Every structure is written in C-alpha cells, then in structure tokens.
Chain A
Amino acid sequence: MQKKLKFKRYIDNSNVSRFRFWIQIISFFIFVYGGYFFIEIASRLPIFSCPYVQGSPGGCYLIGIQHELNTTWSSLWGFRGIAILTSLATFLVFFIFLNKAWCGFVCPLGTLQDWITKLRKFFGFSFTRYDEMSFKRLKSIKYILLVLLILIPLGIRNTFFGIPLPHGMHTPFCQICPARIILPLFTGDTSQIFIDFTDTTTIIMTSLGMMSAAIFLVGSFVKKRFFCFFCPMSALQFIFSKISLLRMTKDGDKCTRCGNCYRVCDVGIREIADDIISKNIVKDDCMLCAKCVEACPEDDCLKISFAGIPLFNASQEGFFKRYGQTDLNELNELNKQKNESK
C-alpha cells in the first residue's frame, strides 16, 4: 500500500454509509419541516422537495417545468421562454455541485425508501432484484415519464395531431407522483389522500396518484429504491450528469470484476462491476451513494472526486475496516435476535 496522507487515509477508511444516514435524516427534516423554521432554499431543486408539503422550504424542479410548459408555442419564444431558461439554470446551479448525490443524500423520497428498507431488514425479509432482462426493459420508463411530463403540458394549450388534452392534465406527473401524497403525511396533512370527482380526467389522475402511492410503499418494501428506478427526475439529472463537478470514476485496470460493488448497489447497476472501459461510471440509475466504493477492495479502483479533488477512494484497508472486522458485541447482538434461521 503506497503512502497516503493521514487525513485521506482516515477518510478512505471511514464509513460513508453511516455518514449518509445522518445527512439523510437532516435533509429529510429540512425538506419536510424546514419551511416552518422560515428556511427558504429555492424552487427548482433537483429533488422531490415537494411544494405540496406545507413545511417544504423549496420546490421540485419537475413541478416548475410542468407549469412553465403549460403554454402556447408562440409565448415559448418570448417571456415564458426566458422564465423556462432561468429555472433550468437554477436547477443546474444546484445540480452541478452534487450530481446524482442529490438522490443518494438529499431527496426526501429517496430517504423514505431507504427507511422502508431498514424496516424490511428489521423483519429480516429478503429483498428482490430485477433480472437482467427486466432491468433493461424497465429502465426506459423514467425517460418515457420525462418526455410525457414535458409534452403533456404543452399539449394542453397547443394540440398535437389534433388530440385535445383537458386542462385537468396540467402538471400530470405531480398528479401521479407518490411524493405528493406521502410526504405531506409527515406534517400530519392527509388532505392529498382523496379522489377528485370533478370530471373524468381528475378522477382518473387522482386515482392513479393513489395507486402510485400504494405501489411506492409496497414496492420499496420488497425492492431497494424501487421508485427511483422509474423517477423522471433521475432521468433529467442524468442528461446533465457529465457536467457536474462531483464525479465517480473507475480505473478498469485495477478492477478484478469481483462484483462486490454490484452486490451492494441498491439500484442494482451491473456496469459498475462489469464495465472496465468507461472512466466516468455514473450511470442513469446511480444515486452516488458510494456504497460501491465502500465495498471495493482494490486500491483506487473506484473514486469519488469533486472538481478533480479526490474525496473518497476505494481502498483495501478501508474495505477490511468496514467488512472484515469482527465486532463481537455486534455478533452477540445478532445472536439475540431471533432471526437465526432466516
């Protein structure tokens, strides 16, 4: 092992997952209750900071984009167009710093899924994974949702192919977004649990919303980060991922393709282990949680850096610190739990 700066070594040996756990709690608190404490961050954030939550200190860029696109072609070239560009710029200013780590560390809906995973683990139930085929097939859904949430609002004021879209289809994704229904519950607000009987469109859309909330809860209980896999925000982020300052890179020559990284990846990204060519290894489903870097036992094979400054590198010393040490207390603890034969 080559000589490393003491501080760097300390970081590389650290447990990022534990750090992430606490950051997520703090972020969740800020993005669900921050508004009550007069925290005001910004609208157009690259996460589900949902304005339907009363305490939300910011706004999710997806609702912004849907609102702004609910306009006519001609106004797109004028004042509206400028507004659209400014909000995209706001989104990017935030996004550029954290890249997809917004998903891994900040997004309250992402955090909620991780907590549901913890709950499942508490019961000792196994998780499921998509097989390779389904993974490939299903992964396009988020892009389809993204395209729809852009086209549908445009289709209300303008008609595509002469198909009229009712006004009830405004902000179509928000209507089916589980965050709108679930996150307000944390402030005691149950008002989003309802079906709007105004007309057929609203009935359909609000029912879909209820369904998606239910699927969200069940789905994330059986599969880690179930919803993120379909999240259009994640698709949108990925389009800009390359320009971000936070990067995750891989040195394929150092990789033994042991698959450790793939095993621990909550979203199940196969390329993280198998791709030995790409340098930039942030894939569209990645949330930059760094679990893979923690699990990689080869020095400097996977790396996370910010503007070229290395932040967290895979190291064998770190690996054995995290995975190899036998903590007998922990073992006794395990023994106490009844799940012996699970």
Chain B
Amino acid sequence: MKVNSDRYERMKKTGSIHYAMEIKKNLAEITDDFPDNPENMEYFYKRFEEYTTGNLHEGKKVIASMCVHVPLELIYATGATPVRICAGAYATDQIGAEFLPAKTCPMVKSTLGAVYLDILPGNIKPELIVNPTTCDQKKKMGEIAEEIDKPFFTLEVPPTKDSEEARQYWNRVVKKFVKKLEQTTGTKLTRRRLKKAIKTVAKAQAVYRRFDHLRRKAPVIYGKDAILVTNSYFFDDIESWTEHVEKLNKELEERIEQQKTIGKANSPRILLTGSPTIFPNMKLPLLIEQLGGIVVTEEFCSTSRMIWDTVAVDEWFLYDMVPAVADRYLKPSTCPNFTPNTDRERKLLRDIKEFQVDGVIYQTFTGCQLYDMESRRIGKILEENGIQTLYIESDYNPDDFGQLTTRLEAFLDSLKNKK
C-alpha cells in the first residue's frame, strides 16, 4: 500500500482519531476509577496524555527500538535518544492487520500499524527502527518494512543465551550495531560518552530497584500505576524519568510509614506474566484491580525485565564496555525466545516468594506461540510449588471484556477464600 495515497491519508486520519480516543479512555479509567492515586503519579499520567499530542525529544535524533534486547546505553552514547515503540493500541492493531495474517500477535500488528501510520509515542520521527530477531512474528515483520518504506535495522538476537557461541555471536552483532548507530547519528562512540551513558542508565536502574523493593514492603501502589511507571521508561527522557520515580519513591515510603495501604487485608496479591501489557492495552491489570485484586508485580518485557539488569564493567575502555553492555542485554534476559529459558522459571519463583504472591495470572496474546508454549512448563512448576494460576488468552480487542470479568472474578474469589 503506497504511502501518500488517498486511502492512506484516510486511514491515517481515522486511525489517529481512534488512537487518541483509546488513549484518553484508558487513561481516564486508570486515573478516575481509583481513589487516592499517589500525587507523584500525576507526572506519569501527563506523559501518557502527551503520547498523542506531544513533540517528544524535539531536536534530538531518535532511534526506535522494538524489544528489550536493544542496548540503550549505546544509543545514548551516540548522542541519540532511544524510544521503544512496541505498541498496545487496538486502533493501530487493526491497521497492522492489513499486512499480517489474522492470527498474528496483536502487539506485532499494533506496532507495525503505528509505524505505518507514523503515530508513534510523542510523535517522534525515528532515524532508525531497530528490530531484534526474537520471535518469528517480529522477524517476519521486519521484511514488511521495505514494503512500507521505513528504516528498519535487524538486530540479530541468538536463539539461545547460555552457550559461549551465542555470547560471541551476540557480541559481534552488537559491534555491528555500534557501526550502524555511528553511521546513522554521525556521532562516534567514545569512551567518555559510553561511560556516561552506562552510569545514567545505572542511576535509573538503582531508582527503579528501590521502587520495586517498596512494592514488596507493603501494598502502597496499584499495579496499573506501576505499569505506567515502567511503560513510560519506553519513551521518557531518562533523567526526568529517574527524577520522578525518585519522587514517587519518597511518597510511597511515606505511605508505608503512615500505613496508607491500598486494597484490603484479604485482597489477593497477583503476579502478572506472559505476553507484555503495554499501555493503552491495560484491560487485564485494570480489571483485576477493579475486581479487588492487587497486581503486586509483573514479569513482563515491558516492565521489570526491561530495567532490572545492570552493566558491570571491569576496565572502562571501549574494548570492555561494549561487550559488557552486550552481555547485559543477553545473559539475564528471561525472554521466551531463548531456549532453554530456565531463568524465567527461577525468576518467577523468586518473585512469588519475595512479593508474597497469592496467585499468578498468565497472559498469552492470541498468536503468541512462545509465551503459549512456555505456559505449560511454567504452569507445571507453579503447580508443584502450590501456586494457583489462571491462563488468559486475549488480544487488544476490548470485546472479551465480559468473559474476562467472569473468569477473573472466579479466580480472585477462590484466592480470597484461601486467604
């Protein structure tokens, strides 16, 4: 389909309108349906309001990424700003469906639709769209890029992460990526810049980890808000993000002291995992919390998996810093594209213990083979550990609302009765 044709213009117009409406509606639900939102959440709500209207990172070169495996430090160090564009909007999902088979993952469709119509977070105009070869759908989506004339770059993520061969392969891929970045931005990667980038990201991580630990201590923030905090890491200016999470942390600390907790004593504590929840597709966490559960933590590539892991450098020269950054984006990842992926099982068990989780809700997007296939193994392990799990297959279409409600209600009730 040609860009600039009449049909395209029409699509763009209606797409944008639907998109803006969807965002507004979801945001309203997040803010208005709950009492006593933390004051410092205001900043994050604002960020999402500007999703459609803002002019994010104006005057800066933007590199778009579509996965947690894109090394952000390298992008910062070449003077550009990374923005993750994995999308959660149903409006663009329908556009993406024009190019992809019907049973494709809604996130892939939605992202492609957004790229095609140029409705990206904060109206950014990326110089490059980095597409990692994780799941098959993303891989194949990259091929469509040429058709729609967008600057895609394929980042070759190995299918396994444990072997030394994979690590070396990935190291070389990352070196190639550095070259591509340097070409695109016209800025050379230097020791000083990379060091600064590593430290900047580390600062954000330290603050995020603090946030995560506060959530373990007491239920003082809803999962729907926490997801917005992590989701805004996709596109926000990292320093401003860090600053505001720090402020939020202070407020949450005060709330813990004043014992100003959310929910009731018997509110089931839920861990969410599986295919990633990305704003505005917030129906699952919202429903859970409207029905009286509390999402205490999420194991998603759109949340903790994206920020938690750190870079450790032994010798602060490019020869050691670049591989150190590369390692960080491979070794600790719990993405189901890797086989084996036992680290994900271990991480889930760890989280269940540390967050005192009562039940797990496992979300699989229609068409997402990887999370679907892994759900069996994970389910078995959770069962062995006496954890109740609810599997939900869903997509971005809001139509399954009723059916979801019934199932969630039953699940939450059974957890409540056990408490």
Q: Does A253 contact B (CB under 8 A)?
A: yes
A319 x B196 contact (CB < 8 A): no
B323: chain A residues at CB < 8 Å are 263
B192 x A340 contact (CB < 8 A): yes
User: If the complex has contacts A257-B332, A331-B195, A340-B190, are A263 and B324 also in contact, measured as CB distance less than 8 A?
Assistant: yes
Q: How far is the CA of A297 from the CA of B350 in the complex (A)?
A: 15
A342 x B319 contact (CB < 8 A): yes
B202 x A324 contact (CB < 8 A): yes
Residue A131 contacts which of B164, B196, B311 (CB distance < 8 angstroms)? B164
Q: How far is the CA of A184 from the CA of B212 in the complex (A)?
A: 55
User: If the complex has contacts A256-B332, A339-B191, are A1 and B213 also in contact, measured as CB distance less than 8 A?
Assistant: yes
Q: How far is the CA of A259 from the CA of B164 in the complex (A)?
A: 12
Q: How far is the CA of A287 from the CA of B190 in the complex (A)?
A: 33
B317 x A126 contact (CB < 8 A): yes
A226 to chain B, nearest CB (A): 16
Please count how many residues in chain B sit with their CB below 8 Å of the partner chain's CB atoms.
40
B311: chain A residues at CB < 8 Å are 323
A256: chain B residues at CB < 8 Å are 308-309, 332, 343, 347
B209 x A316 contact (CB < 8 A): yes
Q: How far is the CA of A126 from the CA of B314 in the complex (A)?
A: 11
B317 x A323 contact (CB < 8 A): no
A32 to chain B, nearest CB (A): 27
A276: chain B residues at CB < 8 Å are 346
Q: Does B160 contact A (CB under 8 A)?
A: no
B203 x A127 contact (CB < 8 A): no
A147 to chain B, nearest CB (A): 29
B310 x A260 contact (CB < 8 A): yes
A258 x B328 contact (CB < 8 A): yes
Q: Does B173 contact A (CB under 8 A)?
A: no
Q: Using a CB-CB cutoff of 8 Å, which residues 118-141 of chain A contact chain B?
A: 121, 124, 126-127, 131-132
A253: chain B residues at CB < 8 Å are 346, 349-350
Residue A340 contacts which of B191, B196, B308 (CB distance < 8 angstroms)? B191
A203 to chain B, nearest CB (A): 41
A342: chain B residues at CB < 8 Å are 191, 317-319
B202 x A334 contact (CB < 8 A): no
A327 to chain B, nearest CB (A): 9
Please give me the residue from chain B that is nearest to A320 by CB atom. B206
Q: How far is the CA of A264 from the CA of B327 in the complex (A)?
A: 12
A17 to chain B, nearest CB (A): 10
Q: How far is the CA of A258 from the CA of B334 in the complex (A)?
A: 10
A341: chain B residues at CB < 8 Å are 188, 190-191, 318
Chain A proximity mask over B335-351: 1 for CB below 8 Å, otherwise 0: 00000000100110110
User: If the complex has contacts A1-B213, A339-B191, A341-B190, are A326 and B200 also in contact, measured as CB distance less than 8 A?
Assistant: yes
Q: How far is the CA of A324 from the CA of B316 in the complex (A)?
A: 13
Please classify how large the interface on chain A is, using the bins under 10, 10 to 19, 20 to 34, 35 or more.
Answer: 35 or more
B26 to chain A, nearest CB (A): 32
Q: How far is the CA of A340 from the CA of B213 in the complex (A)?
A: 38
A320 x B202 contact (CB < 8 A): yes
Q: Does A274 contact B (CB under 8 A)?
A: yes
Q: How far is the CA of A259 from the CA of B311 in the complex (A)?
A: 9
B317 x A263 contact (CB < 8 A): no
Chain A proximity mask over B114-155: 1 for CB below 8 Å, otherwise 0: 000000000000000000000000000000000000000000
A197 to chain B, nearest CB (A): 44
User: If the complex has contacts A1-B213, A126-B320, are A323 and B350 also in contact, measured as CB distance less than 8 A?
Assistant: no
Q: How far is the CA of A291 from the CA of B323 in the complex (A)?
A: 18
Q: Does B20 contact A (CB under 8 A)?
A: no
A264 x B203 contact (CB < 8 A): no
B331 x A334 contact (CB < 8 A): no
B314: chain A residues at CB < 8 Å are 263-264, 291, 295
Q: Does A200 contact B (CB under 8 A)?
A: no
B356 to chain A, nearest CB (A): 14
B319 x A126 contact (CB < 8 A): yes
B203 x A274 contact (CB < 8 A): no
Please give me the residue from chain A that is nearest to B207 by CB atom. A320
B118 to chain A, nearest CB (A): 36
Q: How far is the CA of A320 from the CA of B349 in the complex (A)?
A: 25
A297: chain B residues at CB < 8 Å are 309-310, 312
Q: How far is the CA of A323 from the CA of B311 in the complex (A)?
A: 8
B315: chain A residues at CB < 8 Å are 121, 127
Which of B199, B310, B319 is most buried by chain A, counting CB atoms within 10 A of its CB?
A: B310
B331 x A258 contact (CB < 8 A): yes
Q: Does A335 contact B (CB under 8 A)?
A: yes
A257 to chain B, nearest CB (A): 6
18 A-B residue contacts at CB 8 Å?
A1-B213, A124-B317, A253-B346, A253-B350, A260-B310, A295-B312, A319-B310, A319-B312, A320-B203, A320-B206, A323-B312, A324-B206, A324-B310, A326-B199, A334-B195, A340-B191, A340-B192, A342-B191
| Residue positions of A touching B, CB distance < 8 A | 1, 121, 124, 126-127, 131-132, 253-254, 256-261, 263-264, 273-274, 276, 291, 295, 297, 316, 319-320, 323-326, 331, 334-335, 339-342
Q: A291-B314, A324-B206 are in contact. List 16 more A-B contacts (CB 8 A).
A: A127-B319, A263-B323, A264-B312, A295-B312, A295-B314, A319-B312, A320-B310, A323-B202, A323-B310, A323-B311, A324-B199, A325-B199, A326-B196, A334-B316, A340-B190, A341-B190
Please name the 7 residue pairs, one residue from A and one from B, whose CB atoms are nearest each other, closest first.
Answer: A324-B202, A260-B312, A126-B319, A258-B332, A259-B331, A326-B199, A320-B206
